[in-house]
Chains A and B, each alone.
Chain A
Amino acid sequence: MSENWIEVGSLNDIPQLGARVVERPEGDIAVFRTKDDEVFALRDHCPHKGGPLSQGIVTGTKVACPLHDWKINLDSGEAVAPDEGCAASYPVKMEGDKIMLSLTPAEGCPNK
Chain B
Amino acid sequence: MKEKLVLVGNGMAGVRVIEELLKLAPEDYDITVFGEEPYGNYNRIMLSPVLAGDKTIDEIMLNDEQWYIDNDIKLHKGKKITEIDRVNRKVVAEDGTEEPYDRLLLATGSTPFMIPVPGNDLEGVIGFRDIKDVDSMLDSSKKNKHAVVIGGGLLGLEAANGLMLQGMSVTVVHLMDTLMERQLDEPAAKMLKKSLEDKGLHFLMEAQTEAIVGKDKVEKVRFKDGSEIYADLVVMAVGIRPNFELAQQFGIHCERGIVVNDTMQTFDPRVYAVGECVQHRGLTYGLVAPLFEMAKVCANHFAKMGISRYEGSVTSTKLKVTGIDLFSAGDFQGDENCEELVFQDAARGVYRKLVVQDNKIKGTVMYGDTIDGTWYFDLMRDGTDISDFRENILFGQAHLGDSGHGEDNRVAMMSDSAEICGCNGVCKGDIVNAISEHNLFTLDDVRSYTKASSSCGSCTALVESLLAHTVGGDYSVAPHLKPICPCTEHTHDEVRAGIKSQSLKTVQSVMDSMDWKTGGCTKCRPAINYYLLCQWPDEYQDESQSRFINERAHANIQKDGTYSVIPRIWGGDTTPEELIAIANAAKKFNVKTVHVTGGQRIGLYGLKKEELPVIWEDLGKAGLVSGHAYGKALRTCKTCVGKEWCRFGTQDSTGLGIKLEKLTWGSWTPHKYKLAVSGCPRNCAEATIKDFGVVCVDSGYELHVAGNGGIKVRATDLLCSVTTEEEVMEYCAAFMQIYREEAHYLERTAPWIERVGLTYVKERVIDDPEGRKAAAERFAFSQKFSQDDPWGERAKGVDANEFTPIKKLG
Cross-chain contact B810 with A66 (CB below 8 angstroms): no
Q: Are A55 and B807 in contact (CB under 8 A)?
A: no
Q: Are B559 and A67 in contact (CB under 8 A)?
A: yes
Cβ distance A24 to chain B, nearest Cβ, rounded Å: 5
C-alpha spacing A111/B559, complex, angstroms:
19
Contact residue among A31, A51, A57 (Cβ-Cβ distance under 8 Å from B525): A57
Given the interface pairs A55-B553, A57-B525, A59-B519, the reply to whether A31 lies near B806 with Cβ below 8 Å is yes
Contact of B576 with A by CB under 8 A: no
A-side interface residues toward B, CB under 8 Å?
A: 6, 8-9, 13-18, 20-26, 28, 31, 35, 49-52, 55-60, 64, 66-69, 82
Interface of chain A: mostly helix, strand, loop or mixed = loop
Smallest CB separation, B561 vs chain A (Å): 4
Convert B783-810 into 0s and 1s, putting 1 for each residue whose CB lies closer than 8 angstroms to a CB of A: 0000000000000000001000111111
Count the A-B residue pairs with Cβ separation under 8 angstroms: how many?
79
Chain B residue nearest in CB terms to A24: B809
Q: How far is the CB of A8 from chain B (nearest CB, A)?
A: 5
Q: Identify the interface centre among A17, A22, A31, A64: most chain B CB within 10 Å of its CB.
A: A17
Of all chain A residues, the one with the shortest Cβ separation from B545 is: A17
A25-B810, A57-B548, A59-B519 known; A20 vs B557 contact (CB < 8 Å): no
Residue pair A8, B807 in contact (C-beta under 8 Å): yes
Instruction: Kindly report which residue of chain B lies nearest to residue A60, judged by CB atoms.
Output: B519
Q: How far is the CA of A20 from the CA of B548 in the complex (A)?
A: 15
> In the complex, A49→B558 CA distance in Å?
12
Q: Which residues of A contact B448 (CB under 8 A)?
A: 82
Q: Are B557 and A69 in contact (CB under 8 A)?
A: no
- Is B522 touching A9 in the complex (CB atoms < 8 A)? no
Contacts A22-B806, A69-B454 given: A59-B525 contact, CB under 8 Å?
yes
Decide: A59 and B806 in contact? CB cutoff 8 A.
no
- Shortest C-beta distance, A30 to chain B (Å), equals 10
Would A20 and B809 count as touching, CB distance under 8 A?
Answer: no
Q: Quick check: is B781 within 8 A (CB to CB) of the other chain? A: no
A51 to B808 Cα, complex, angstroms: 20
Report chain B residues within 8 Å CB of A68: 455
- Measured CB to CB, the nearest residue on chain B to A66 is B549
Chain B, residues 532-560, CB within 8 Å of chain A (1/0): the string is 00000000000011111100010001010
Q: Is B557's CB under 8 angstroms from A66's CB?
A: yes
Assembly CA distance A15 to B544 (angstroms): 10
The answer to whether the Cβ of B521 comes within 8 Å of any Cβ in the partner chain is yes
Interface residues of chain B, those whose CB is within 8 Å of chain A, are 448-449, 454-455, 518-522, 525-526, 544-549, 553, 557, 559, 561, 801, 805-810
Contacts of A59 in B (CB 8 A): 518-522, 525
Cβ-defined contact, A13 with B806, below 8 A: yes
Shortest CB-to-CB span from A95 to chain B, Å, is 15
A38 vs chain B, min Cβ distance (A)? 12
- Are A20 and B559 within 8 A (Cβ)? no
Task: Decide if A9 touches B807 in the complex (CB within 8 Å).
Answer: yes
A/B interface sample: 13 pairs, CB < 8 A? A15-B801, A16-B545, A17-B545, A22-B805, A22-B809, A25-B809, A64-B521, A64-B522, A66-B549, A67-B557, A69-B454, A82-B448, A82-B449
Question: Are the CB atoms of A66 and B519 closer together than 8 Å?
Answer: no
B424 to chain A, nearest CB (A): 8
Report chain B residues within 8 Å CB of A26. Answer: 810
- Separation in Å of the B227 CB from the closest CB of chain A? 57
Cβ B518 vs Cβ A21 within 8 A? no
Q: Verify B545–A15 contact, CB threshold 8 A.
A: yes
Task: Report how far A74 CA is from B557 CA in the complex, Å.
Answer: 22
Kindly list chain B residues whose C-beta atoms are within 8 Å of the C-beta of A31: 806
A4 and B520 alpha carbons, distance in the complex (Å)? 35
A18 to B525, CA, bound (A): 14
- In the assembled complex, the Cα of A51 lies from the Cα of B549 at a distance in Å of 12
Contacts of B546 in A (CB 8 A): 17, 57
Closest beta carbon of chain A to B324's beta carbon, Å: 33
The answer to whether A55 and B557 touch across the interface, beta carbons within 8 angstroms, is yes
B548 contacts A14, C-beta separation under 8 Å: no
Whether B525 lies near A20 (C-beta < 8 A) is no
User: Cα distance A38–B564 when bound, in Å?
Assistant: 32
Residue from B557, B806, B808, B810 with most neighbouring chain A CB atoms (10 Å): B806
Q: Give every chain A residue within 8 A of B518 (Cβ-Cβ).
A: 59-60
Question: Of A20, A25, A55, which one neighbours B805 at CB under 8 angstroms?
Answer: A20
Cα–Cα, bound, A25→B810 (Å): 6
Are the CB atoms of A52 and B561 closer together than 8 Å? yes
Query: Contacts A17-B545, A57-B546, A67-B557 hold; do A24 and B810 have CB atoms under 8 A apart?
Result: yes
Nearest CB on A from B550, distance (A): 8
Contact B559 A49 (CB under 8 A): yes
With A51-B561, A57-B545 as contacts: A69 and B522 at CB distance below 8 Å: yes
Contact of B806 among A14, A16, A58 (CB under 8 A): A14
CA–CA, A25 to B808, complex, Å?
9
Per CB-CB distance, the 7 closest pairs between chain A and chain B, nearest first, are A20-B806, A17-B545, A55-B549, A25-B810, A52-B561, A66-B549, A64-B522
A57-B546 Cα distance, complex, nearest whole Å: 7
User: Residues of B contacting A24 with CB < 8 Å?
Assistant: 809-810
**What are the residues of chain A within 8 A of B525 when measuring CB–CB?**
57, 59
Contact B801 A21 (CB under 8 A): no
Q: Which of B449, B522, B801, B805 contacts A57 (CB 8 A)?
A: B522
| Cα(A20)–Cα(B140), bound, Å | 69
**Contact indicator B807/A23 (Cβ below 8 Å):** yes
Report the bound CA distance from A2 to B518 in whole Å. Answer: 33
Q: Considering the complex, give the chain A residue whose CB is closest to the CB of B552.
A: A55
Measured CA separation A101–B519 after assembly (Å): 26
Task: Say whether B806 contacts A55, CB under 8 Å.
Answer: no
Chain B residues, Cβ within 8 Å of A22: 805-809
* A66 proximity list for chain B (CB < 8 A): 548-549, 557
Q: Which residues of B have CB within 8 Å of A20?
A: 801, 805-806
**Could you tell me if A56 and B805 are in contact, using CB atoms closer than 8 angstroms?**
no
What chain A residues lie within 8 Å of B805 (beta carbons)? 20-23, 28
Q: Within the assembled complex, what's the spacing in Å between the Cα atoms of A1 and B545?
A: 34
Q: Which of the listed residues B518, B519, B559 has the most CB atoms from chain A within 10 Å of its own CB?
A: B519
Q: How far is the CA of A31 from the CA of B454 in the complex (A)?
A: 28
Q: How far is the CB of B686 from chain A (nearest CB, A)?
A: 30
Chain B residue nearest to A31 in the complex (CB): B806
List A contacts of B520 (CB < 8 A): 59
For the A-B complex with A15-B544, A23-B805, A57-B526 known, give 17 more contacts whose Cβ atoms are closer than 8 Å.
A6-B809, A8-B806, A9-B807, A20-B805, A21-B805, A23-B808, A23-B809, A24-B809, A50-B561, A51-B561, A56-B549, A57-B525, A59-B520, A66-B549, A67-B557, A68-B455, A69-B454
